[in-house]
Homo-oligomer: A and B are copies of this chain.
Amino acid sequence: MSQRILILGGGFAGLFAAREIKKRLGARADVELISAENYFVFQPLLPEVAAGSITAPHAVTPLRALLKGVFVRKARVHSVDFDRQVVTVFQGVQRRPTEVPYDHLVVALGQVVDLSRMPGLADHALTMKHLEDARHLRNHVIEKLEHAEITGLPEVKREALTFTVVGAGFSGVETVGELKELIDRSLKFYPNVSPDEVRVVVVEYADRVLGELPESLGRYAKKRLEDRGIEIMLGKGVASATGTRLTLTDGTEIPTRTIVATIGNAPSPVVREMGLEQQAGKIAVERNLLAKGHQNVWSLGDCALIPMKDGAEARDDFAPPTAQFAVREARCLAANMEAALDGKPLAPFAYKSQGALASLGARRGVAEVWGLKLSGFPAWLLWRAYYVGFLPGISTKIRVLMNWTMDALSARSVVQLKGAEPPATRYVHYSAGDRIYEAGNRADGVYSIVSGGVELRHTGENGREIVLRLGPGDHFGEGILAGEDRRRSTVRALEDTKVLMMEESAYLRMVDAFPVLQDYFDDHLQKVYGVEKRSA
């Protein structure tokens, strides 16, 4: 009877596990892969998508095109029941749960970004994990250039033209390098922005960049980035963030409207709650890739902690979270699964890295391959060649190459597509002294104070100034309900303050739909603004 093999996750690990298992087991197995997205994204290309040298749809490949013979289910994994051997998922927009049974389960769900330890960072930083993040970053950067071009306010211009990246590992360095190239190549369209007004900063907690590579290559990368005008701050972490400021652990304050966080990898909530043994925030597996304590649950890729020797303890004793390793792990896992079905002994995972590469943008890179160190243009060329070779699917390879060709031959487009809108109900952080809004501003929504405190100044019709101090649970900006479309008061944060901001349309709909809110605000507006009740 054929075995039901279920793979959770469509990244490098999941994709290659599905392919290798199908290849080895053929008709002996019904292989199914569950992924939240219907495409495979090659993460090392995300900085190039962010910089616009590859357009987003051309950087990814539909999973269905890569997985002939494998059933692909686009769904969100909710939970796993190891006793009943079923995975519960939600499909599409459906709210009805679907149960998917398995004989063997492969967990390859990768990691998520968690920035919650640093106040304000989760609410104000951009990330670089998904394809959407890259698209969003590109549009965000163009938006800042557009704004800098036309604003008459020097401090707004300075904030708009300061771009910060947190973390100087592979992802941070490649992101900052591509970001700088995008800005440099776009400036010719913005005559009011002079190159010396642009500031690009990368912040790293360690005392060097590219910790994954030999020190000499890290030094080269640092010098190369600095030569291109990128500021590198080492030995500093993030203390907190607002919409206009990044504050570092040593007290440095950077006025900026762009923070890209490439740090904060954490286990996904599903993995955390799955009930598998965890170690260092990952799934603890045996050297043969079976999850500890299980005979039909396997794990690989970034979500698994894979020991490369018995009694592994140090960081180097475990497989690193790279595509190179994920692909080899997939091969080992498929072989072990076949052995398990045949009742043969399983082999431990073993692989020796062939090297590592990083692109620095502007046609420069660093590489260490088979012990050889390379830098500059040859390393960059090797980087591109290696990654195109690694890209699964011939049509995606061709598309990426055509994008690169077009990019080399023509100016980079400064089209700013609409990205994801910020949520209509969102948290916003302010530092002491920050202006939240001032009289005459467009009235955009209602604010409720979560923590901290603000001062509200209002000049009455008799010219007398009223000053109010508001704290947690208090709200302001509700004059929208009385038809106010410009602010009549000025509000400043008195201390570090977190507010919930609710945009006008969402707020008006809520008040309309919930009688308790309607009554409350009718009363409130009459008391504060002397406005008659809207409802009878």
**A142 CB to nearest chain B CB (Å):** 7
Smallest CB-CB separation from A415: which chain B residue? Answer: B39
Q: Hey, which chain B residues are within 8 Å of A55, CB to CB?
A: 55-58
The proximity string for A residues 127-146 relative to B, scoring 1 for CB distances below 8 Å and 0 otherwise, is 00011100000000011001
Query: In the bound complex, do residue B98 and residue A152 qualify as a contact, i.e. CB atoms below 8 Å apart?
Result: yes
Smallest CB-CB separation from A98: which chain B residue? Answer: B152
**A85 in the interface, Cβ–Cβ < 8 Å?**
no
**A515 CB to nearest chain B CB (Å):** 5
**Which residue in B131, B417, B487, B512 is a CB contact (below 8 Å) of A450?**
B512
**A414 in the interface, Cβ–Cβ < 8 Å?**
yes
Interface residues of A in 30-46 (CB under 8 A from B): 37-39
**A527 in the interface, Cβ–Cβ < 8 Å?**
no
Interface residues of A in 498-515 (CB under 8 A from B): 500, 502, 505-506, 509-510, 512-515
The proximity string for A residues 345-387 relative to B, scoring 1 for CB distances below 8 Å and 0 otherwise, is 0000000000000000000000000000000000000000000
**A464 in the interface, Cβ–Cβ < 8 Å?**
no
**A529 in the interface, Cβ–Cβ < 8 Å?**
no
Query: In the bound complex, do residue A92 and residue B500 qualify as a contact, i.e. CB atoms below 8 Å apart?
Result: no
Query: In the bound complex, do residue B189 and residue A64 qualify as a contact, i.e. CB atoms below 8 Å apart?
Result: yes
Interface-facing stretch out of A102-110, A198-206, A220-228, A434-442: A434-442
Query: In the bound complex, do residue A92 and residue B147 qualify as a contact, i.e. CB atoms below 8 Å apart?
Result: yes
| Bound CA span A513–B410, Å | 50
Smallest CB-CB separation from A160: which chain B residue? Answer: B92
The proximity string for A residues 413-438 relative to B, scoring 1 for CB distances below 8 Å and 0 otherwise, is 11111101101110100000000011
Q: Hey, which chain B residues are within 8 Å of A420, CB to CB?
A: 418, 420-421
| Bound CA span A486–B189, Å | 53
Best-buried of A417, A425, A450 by chain B (most CB within 10 Å): A425
**A268 in the interface, Cβ–Cβ < 8 Å?**
no
Query: In the bound complex, do residue B417 and residue A57 qualify as a contact, i.e. CB atoms below 8 Å apart?
Result: yes
Interface residues of A in 261-284 (CB under 8 A from B): none
Copies of this chain present in the complex amount to: 2
**Which residue in B147, B156, B190, B425 is a CB contact (below 8 Å) of A509?**
B425
**A214 in the interface, Cβ–Cβ < 8 Å?**
no
**A97 in the interface, Cβ–Cβ < 8 Å?**
yes
**A257 CB to nearest chain B CB (Å):** 8
Q: Hey, which chain B residues are within 8 Å of A65, CB to CB?
A: 189, 411, 413-414
Q: Hey, which chain B residues are within 8 Å of A421, CB to CB?
A: 420
Query: In the bound complex, do residue A399 and residue B406 qualify as a contact, i.e. CB atoms below 8 Å apart?
Result: yes
Range of interface residues on chain A?
Answer: 35 or more
**A459 in the interface, Cβ–Cβ < 8 Å?**
no
**A248 CB to nearest chain B CB (Å):** 24
**A516 in the interface, Cβ–Cβ < 8 Å?**
yes
Query: In the bound complex, do residue A395 and residue B418 qualify as a contact, i.e. CB atoms below 8 Å apart?
Result: no
Query: In the bound complex, do residue B502 and residue A510 qualify as a contact, i.e. CB atoms below 8 Å apart?
Result: yes
Smallest CB-CB separation from A423: which chain B residue? Answer: B424
**A526 in the interface, Cβ–Cβ < 8 Å?**
no
Asked, given contacts A74-B146, A189-B62, A424-B424, whether A418 binds B57 with beta carbons under 8 Å apart, the answer is no
**A455 in the interface, Cβ–Cβ < 8 Å?**
no
Interface residues of A in 69-121 (CB under 8 A from B): 73-75, 78, 90-98
Smallest CB-CB separation from A414: which chain B residue? Answer: B62
18 new A-B pairs (CB below 8 Å) besides A73-B150, A78-B442, A516-B520? A37-B418, A39-B417, A61-B413, A62-B414, A74-B147, A92-B147, A92-B151, A93-B147, A94-B147, A95-B442, A96-B438, A96-B441, A131-B417, A423-B424, A425-B425, A448-B513, A475-B513, A517-B517
Kindly list the 3 A-B residue pairs having the minimum CB-CB distance in the complex, ordered from nearest: A92-B147, A448-B513, A500-B513
Mind listing 25 A-B residue pairs with CB under 8 Å?
A: A37-B418, A38-B415, A39-B415, A39-B417, A55-B58, A56-B57, A60-B415, A64-B414, A74-B150, A75-B150, A78-B442, A91-B151, A93-B143, A96-B153, A97-B486, A131-B417, A398-B406, A399-B406, A420-B420, A425-B506, A449-B513, A500-B512, A510-B510, A516-B517, A517-B517
